Structure 1
Amino acid sequence: MKNTLFTLAVAGLLFGCKTQQATAPVAPADPAELASSITEDELREMLYIYASDEFEGRNTGEPGQKKAVEYLKQHYLDLGIPTPLGGDDYFQEVPLQKLSAPEMSLSINGKPLAQLTQFVSLISSTDGSISAEEIIDLGFGIESDNYSDYKDMDVNGKTIIIRSGEPRNDDGTFVISGTDQVSKWSNMRQQFAAKRDLAKEKGAKMVLFYYPEAYDMIAPRLGRSSGRLTLKGKAESMYLLLVNSEVMEAITDNPEAKPGNKIAATIDFSYEAQGEELISENVIAYIRGREKPDEYVVISAHLDHVGVEDGQIYNGADDDGSGTVAILEIAEAFKEAVDKGQGPKRSIVFLHVTAEEKGLLGSRYYTDIDPVFPLDQTVANL
């Protein structure tokens, strides 16, 4: 009943207004009639298949999830509902990676330093190595309208030290803001990105980020292989290491900031990325609107679940097998409406997203990286 009411509401929204541009009169669509193809028996039949043990809980990237997307694709092919991706390609590939700590080695002035206990990588970088005989102290690594640690400094291709925080005036206020309010250069989350991006813009090859107050809290999270899935990002050509006080002591006898100071120190570093890359899929089908084809209504649900844990299959009938098969039934109703000359005013996108259980990754990929239809022309997501 809930699915039928939902479909009636959708149908009313999309079919309810008569066009004034029609060349021949068409009787207004009856939402109840259009939704009559949606039946409890069909929903049950599809859900019993989709949430069966055969699909092994539809864990992202695993065989059960691959069976699930093939099932959805075949359903749209059988209905004759096309894909916007061309041909019979209903899959929007979503590149993912399992997070794993890289293999690194670091020695300064011939002293080997230990990964995790003394340094960790803050970003994913390309494989490579560095040998240098100079490290540049960049202080806080800040550049703003009224302050710059990079003034008259050429750090292109160099190894630099950057510290957490930002400078203060003699009265205790912050130089950047002129008040007692911190800026992004001190905010725990924002400063990493702001200082990283600036160093990259300036061409630095390697950054040693010194943040002793937070090292013991941050390092364990980054230094171990978590196995957590994330969207695959572009590997950086720059290296960014979070280092503790022992690394600083290996570099210099005086770890206090001296912006612009060039420290004679031999550094040898190597980086080898680890982890597993995999591909999952969003499934997309599409019915073109008859009056406003360049406006899109997205009807979505996530196709994945959590798979098998400790030998038990988590079938995911309600999360979100029920939503998935409801979309299939709604799609069938819209296709029958099209065949009767009662197609929707706006284009309808049937979007089944992957990796919701891993952090909305399929949704994020569609909205943030590769929206198949322009977001500014997408009027609703149901």
Structure 2
Amino acid sequence: MRHNAFAYLLLAALGFGCAKTPTTSTPQGPVTDVVQLTEVAPKYASTVTAADLLKHLTILASDEYEGRNTGEKGQKMAAEYISREFREDGLTGPVQGGSNPYYQTFDLEKSQWGDGYMTVGQEKYLMMQDFFVLGNSPFQTEQAVDVVFAGYGIDAANYSDYANKDVRGKVVAVLAGEPKGSNGNFLISGTDKASDWGNDYRTKRNAATKHGAKAVLIVTGTNEAEFNSLTQRYKAYASRPSLGLKSNGNQETAATVFISPIAGAALFGVTTDKLLDYGNQVTKEGKPVTAALTAVKDIKIKAARDASPLPTENVLGFVEGSDKKDEVIVVTAHYDHVGVDTTRQGDQIYNGANDDGSGTVAVIEMAEAFAQAKKDGYGPRRSILFMTVTAEEKGLLGSEYYSENPIFPLENTVANVNIDMIGRMDKEHEKTNDSNYIYSIGADKLSSELHQINEAMNQKYVNLKLDYTYNDENDPNRFYYRSDHYNFAKHGIPIVFYFNGVHDDYHQPSDEVDKIIFESVEKVARLAFHVTWELANRENRIVVDSNKK
């Protein structure tokens, strides 16, 4: 049945071409009246069609594009396709100084770990076995280090492990997670909700960096088995080349090292029970305590990493606003995937139709709709940047690069609407064959108004079931931290993230176009359109009235 629907849509797309823009009367000059703009919104939303989405995805997720692996031929082909669509649809390229104004080009580093170990006196602990280093390494050659224990590595307004500690140029050892009080609530939030200090290792890395530390060693798990389980995914990445943002030669951030409890305890010449008992002491006192943990004197670390540059690009299309043009809405999806695996039998190409070809084509169609609205005199009041980002699969690197090197000031960025995987059913919804849903994540984290807008636009125009399962701060899947919106949220920019959930074809060669439910892609894309339209045209910029980055 699905294959028949696919064939029909393909025929429609190829036989009849893209949907035509509905007829509207052309106003004299740009319209800034909210009522008028609201009235025409459905006409432009209707140009986002299943047939057009299929047309684009059939190309971008074809074998010819070789899985769109970052920095490789297929990714370059996809960038060219998307930029051509933006240009032909009438969007402008906002990047100055390069050969292509639709490309934000930058170099990643392709690197691979070499020799790595840590010695504590006569004991030797091995990288990839007893510890893992993320990102850049300041230990290209063997170095003697001073280690300081800093509790949980937290530096919050109501709780700081760095009080009266000088860690400049030193290595900080901290416990993973965050402390609870005797009542069972987390000390940072005062509730049963964990904070970023426990959810996102980068928060501890940033605190260590702020205090001048060379590296932060995060003691992970309570025993070797738990450490191995929690760090299993790093082993898969560590044995092959990886990508990261290009280093400028300076150690700008503290290196992050996940270390086993046994190796962590050895740094202080104690047992793992003694080291981990610190958490019990904090729970009892309800605040940081002075630990009787002094590092041994003879500690050396080596973690060599060889790197070479790899050029890549975010693809940007811009629709300038009218009376509020200095304020910008950013609409994103990542267009990269994971490429080709020549060691596999059978199909070796990871086409990534759902992940995230589906979001990419939604952005292309939304961009076309807004550009047409502007041509007709109904352009947005605020500007809109449509951006398909590279290297999401390598660690959200394309969006991170933009957030650190924005084309438009972040203080003028009103919100980010991010689309990553739409048009499939996850395992839970397959049970009832219900495709009329979308997981909505993050809209309430920084702005109550964005959440209200998302709900209102859905109820008024689309009527999807907005599923908030993965919006829970304690969601173990941590999807809020796993797509490109997070690099906006961490800068205090409100976001909404649309996601269909994980299925058996996730990151498999079987993530193919013929499994996409294009009617669902259309509905989610139209919801994203209406939310973006409202954000761009409402009288007041949405408030930032929460702090759940």
Instruction: Give the shorter-chain TM-score range.
Output: 0.5 to 0.7
Unaligned runs of 5+ in 1: 23-28, 168-173
2:71 to 52, 55, 61: 61
Distance 2:71 2:89 in 1: 26
Residue 182 (str. 1) matches residue 220 (str. 2):
no
TM-superposed deviation, 1:91: 0.5
- Bigger shift: residues 153-162 or 325-334: 325-334
1:375 CA drift (Å): 1.8
Q: Give the secondary structure class of the aligned counterpart of 1:157.
A: coil
Aligned residues: 360
Matches within 5 A, 1:158-237: 158-163=170-175, 177=181, 179-184=183-188, 190-191=197-198, 192-193=201-202, 195-213=204-222, 214-225=226-237, 232=245, 236-237=253-254
Question: What displacement does 1:63 show?
Answer: 0.8
Question: Distance in 2 between the 1:237 and 1:75 partners?
Answer: 41
Aligned to 1:71: 81
1:111 alignment counterpart: 123
- Name the structure where helix makes up a greater proportion of residues: 2
Residue by residue over 1:154-211, the C-alpha shift from the partner in whole angstroms, topping out at 9 and shown as x without a partner, is 33333454445778xxxxxx6xx56442335996972455554444444344544444
Corresponding residue of 1:372: 407
Counterparts in 2 of 1:32-47, with a 5 A limit?
Answer: none
Cα contact 1:127–1:271 (8 A) shared by 2: yes
Contact map agreement 1:99 1:225 (CA 8 A) in 2? no
Question: CA distance change for structure 1 residues 166 and 348 in 2, over 3 Å: closer, same or farther?
Answer: closer
Q: 1:329 to 1:101 in 2, by over 3 A?
A: same
How far is 1:85 from its partner?
1.7
Is residue 248 of structure 1 aligned with residue 265 of structure 2?
A: yes
Change (3 A) 1:285 1:158: closer
What is residue 536 of structure 2 aligned with on the other side? none
Whether the 8 Å contact between 1:108 and 1:250 is mirrored in structure 2 is: yes
Q: Secondary structure of the equivalent of 1:248?
A: helix
CA distance in 2, matches of 1:351, 1:359: 21
In 2, Cα distance between the equivalents of 1:166 and 1:34? 48
- Structure 1 residue 273 corresponds to structure 2 residue 317: no
Which 10-residue stretch deviates more, 56-65 or 368-377? 368-377
Greater strand content? 1
TM-score, length of structure 1 as denominator length: 0.65
Q: Which has the larger radius of gyration?
A: 1
* 280 and 160 in structure 1: CA distance in 2 versus 1, 3 angstrom threshold: closer
How many Å separate the matches in 1 of 2:237 and 2:136?
13
> Cα deviations across residues 38-62 of structure 1 (Å, max 9, x unaligned)?
9999999877765655434434332
Task: Note if contact 1:109-1:250 (Cα within 8 Å) is conserved in structure 2.
Answer: no
Q: Which amino acid aligns with 2:185?
A: Q
For residues 120 and 255 of structure 2, what CA distance do their matches in structure 1 show?
A: 18
2:131 counterpart of 1:93: no
1:41, 1:254 → 2: CA distance? 63
Tell me the CA shift for residue 304 of structure 1: 4.5
Corresponding position of 1:351: 386
Cα offset, 1:84, TM superposition = 1.7
Give the counterpart letter for 2:212 in structure 1. Answer: G
Within 2, Cα distance between the matches of 1:114 and 1:317? 39
Gap change, CA 1:83 and 1:271, over 3 Å in 2: same
Amino acid at match of 2:197: Q
Deviates most, 96-105 or 240-249? 96-105
> Which residue of the partner structure matches residue 120 of structure 1?
132
Deviations 1:342-368, CA, capped at 9 Å, x for gaps: 462536646251348738947844874
Q: Is the 8 A contact 1:106 1:269 kept in 2?
A: yes
Conserved? CA contact 2:150–2:162, under 8 Å: yes
- Which residue is 1:381 aligned to? 532
- Unpaired runs of 5+ residues, structure 2, are 1-11, 34-38, 276-289, 417-529, 534-549
How far apart, CA to CA, are the structure 1 residues paired with 2:256 and 2:106?
26
Which range moved further: 137-146 or 58-67? Answer: 137-146
Corresponding residue SS for 2:80: helix
Instruction: Describe the shift of the 1:264–1:43 C-alpha distance in structure 2 as closer, same or farther (beyond 3 A).
Output: closer
Shift of 1:266: 0.9
Q: CA deviation at 1:269?
A: 1.4
Change (3 A) 1:40 1:207: closer
Aligned 8 A contact 1:285 1:351 in 2: yes
Structure number with the bigger relative contact order (C-alpha 8 A, sep ≥ 6) is 1
Q: Structure 2 vs 1, CA of residues 142 and 43 (structure 1 numbering), >3 Å: closer, same or farther? A: closer
Counterpart contact for 1:367–1:375, Cα < 8 Å? no
Cα distance in 2, alignment partners of residues 329 and 125 from structure 1: 43
Distance in 2 between the 1:60 and 1:254 partners? Answer: 44
Name which of 60, 82, 92 aligns with 1:82.
92
Cα distance change, pair 261–298 in 1 and its aligned pair in 2 (3 A): closer
Identity rate, percent: 25
What is the CA RMSD across the aligned residues, in angstroms? Answer: 5.4
